[in-house]
A and B are shown apart, each in its own frame.
Chain A
Amino acid sequence: MANGVIAIEEKNFYQQSTNKYSGILSWLLTTDHKRIGLMYLYTISFFFIVGVIIGILMRLELLTPGKTIVDAQTYNTLFTLHGVIMIFLFIIPGLPAIFGNFFLPIQIGARDVAFPRLNLLSYYVYVVGAILVFISLFLPGGPIDTGWTFYIPYSVRSSTNVSMAILAAFILGFSSILTGINFITTVHRLRAPEMTFFKMPLFVWATYATAWIQIIATPVIGITILLVIIERTFGVGIFDPALGGDPILFQHLFWIYSHPAVYIMILPAMGVVSEIIPTFARRTIFGYKAIAMSSLAIAFVGYLVWAHHMFTSGMSDTARWVFSLLTFIVALPSGVKVFNWVATMYKGSIDPQTPFLWVMAFIFLFSIGGLTGLVLGSLATDVHLHDTYFVVAHFHYVMFGGTGTIFFAALHYWFPKMFGRMYFKKVANIAVLLFFIGFNMLYFTKFIMGYMGMPRRYYDYLPQFATLQEISTVGSWILALAIFLMAGNLIYSLRKGPKAGPNPWGGVTLEWHIPSPPPMENFKEIPTITHEPYDFSQLKEMKNES
């Protein structure tokens, strides 16, 4: 893709700082997009592990009927916190804030994002939001117990610290908006001269589409949260029916943001898949433009379907069938992507390295998640399955099996670039296998239980669910083992892993043209773009460059 951009023996971004400080301050006050990406990585990973531990505790509670380790009220706070942490602190910022920050500027041939200081600010806004979540746990009133959806009227009446916890979500939203503004401006203003829109890597396309959702949708949840706080504090009747408000209006406003937010989570993941598959199939991506456009299509159609979360809420019948119909449209651009990925692999020279294995797990799990989404998008079946474990299973397959899996794939794909070291591949592959087994034991059983009528968010269950609940809990242990094995391998490899060269996988997008880890401003000279983004004929030239 680029010629003559390999920097020789240049100091990397760990050795050189953007400010006058050294040590920890050089990181805390940095404006380097790569360092900010890494700070996000460490912080978000911490919250992910907290979320995992809460999840394991919930599964442990459900190992036996009745009380096992916690009481019902504690279980309510556990599932709320698990949701809030995993959604607002891990999965929404996960891919854009970490990998978007680190790789978007490099992939378009820029030295940094358009607003580096705003970038650092968005990190601190995220940290303030996260700290508020944790403060809310320990103040009088106790941790929030409404579920992550904060549904009215309970969230107005609950005596727990709802206001502070949702204020935290409000603040986290600002971090998301700032990141979105930064990425859109960067893509429009800082592309290398010959990097036209249709020469951008697909991860950039996906992150760009995501940024638009972040900017347009997030203010809606911001306003909604403020209205709930006003209602709680001053008793103004906005949503609470007892005060003359409309509780369904809250659900509309909540999902007008939270459904597009699902695409904030999954779109960047789809972008990563479009990077990994060509690299390990040694083949240019099939249907580049179709994939790029389907990202924008998903971003747009994502706004039209929010009320499919509300089929049993009491909204009008007309709205129910309209939203059910619209929901099926989302399957089209998602299908475009999946078929194009599979077509890319067809007759490719596949090298099944760890990132590729993660992607294979993704395609399998995400397809199950997507197809069960159609079951829930149909009015008649949704009435039966609403608020059951089926829904829990569906969104874990989409969110965790989709975005979570790709978070790990991205970590394994770009780890050598970010840290200049390779991990131990055998251990990493074992972790993928364990993950896959544990995941399906944990969540597939929930499809069956949900179909049989097991409601979500219950701390107890009837005897007929006992066996499946046990299998699910054992699955959670295997899954946790896989995650800790993977994390241990990566952390150990940070210092002890074998050194990685500039291009360990044979990738051709711009990040593989520069040293690992990259130098401070990425490129000595802004690169000249001479190839299509996934043109593997340039691999030979790249070998000559190095």
Chain B
Amino acid sequence: MGNKKHIIGYNTYILVWLSLLALTAITVSIAGIHLGDYTLLIAMFIAAIKSALVINIFMHIKFDEPIFKVFLALSGFTLLIIFVLTFFDFIYR
């Protein structure tokens, strides 16, 4: 939707794709190690990096108008609140 056209080279796309695969591999291997309470935290952290890559590069948000970033931040904030509130049950149950 932006007025300027941004062309990203194939190299970048392939690099991002490989990073996503690598991060997935890390998530799977970490699931096998017993890290206790930290397992979820690390998995979420890796997932956050992966989605940032997809959103910025594949979905072109990095190069688009600020309003889209606002929209995304809003959705991300809502998701964060939903997580926090769910944990009021999960942690204290």
Docked-complex contact A188 and B67, CB < 8 angstroms = yes
Taking CB atoms and an 8 Å cut-off, the chain A residues in 212-266 that contact chain B are 212, 215-216, 220, 248, 252, 256
Q: A188-B67, A316-B93 are in contact. Are A322 and B82 (CB under 8 A)?
A: no
How many contacting A-B pairs (Cβ < 8 A)? 44
**Is A304 close to B, CB under 8 A?**
yes
Q: A188-B67, A252-B86, A304-B85 are in contact. Are A319 and B78 (CB under 8 A)?
A: no
Closest B residue to A252 using CB positions: B86
A252 to B75 alpha-carbon distance, docked (Å): 18
**Is A318 close to B, CB under 8 A?**
yes
Interface string of A303-339 (1 = CB under 8 A from B): 1100100000011111100110000000000000000
Partner of A307, one of B67, B74, B85: B85
**Is B92 close to A, CB under 8 A?**
yes
**Is B88 close to A, CB under 8 A?**
yes
Taking CB atoms and an 8 Å cut-off, the chain B residues in 54-93 that contact chain A are 67, 74-75, 78, 81-82, 85-86, 88-93
Docked-complex contact A216 and B88, CB < 8 angstroms = no
Q: Which residues of B contact A248 (CB under 8 A)?
A: 89, 93
A248 to B86 alpha-carbon distance, docked (Å): 11
Docked-complex contact B85 and A322, CB < 8 angstroms = yes
Shortest A3–chain B CB gap in Å is 30
Docked-complex contact B81 and A322, CB < 8 angstroms = no
Q: Which residues of B contact A216 (CB under 8 A)?
A: 74-75, 78
Docked-complex contact B89 and A315, CB < 8 angstroms = yes
A323 to B88 alpha-carbon distance, docked (Å): 9
Q: Which residues of B contact A314 (CB under 8 A)?
A: 93
Docked-complex contact A256 and B88, CB < 8 angstroms = no
Q: Which residues of A contact B88 (CB under 8 A)?
A: 316, 318-319, 322-323
Nearest 9 interchain pairs by C-beta: A316-B92, A319-B89, A318-B92, A319-B88, A316-B93, A315-B89, A316-B89, A322-B88, A318-B88
7 CB contacts below 8 A, A to B, read: A248-B93, A304-B81, A315-B89, A315-B93, A316-B92, A317-B92, A319-B92
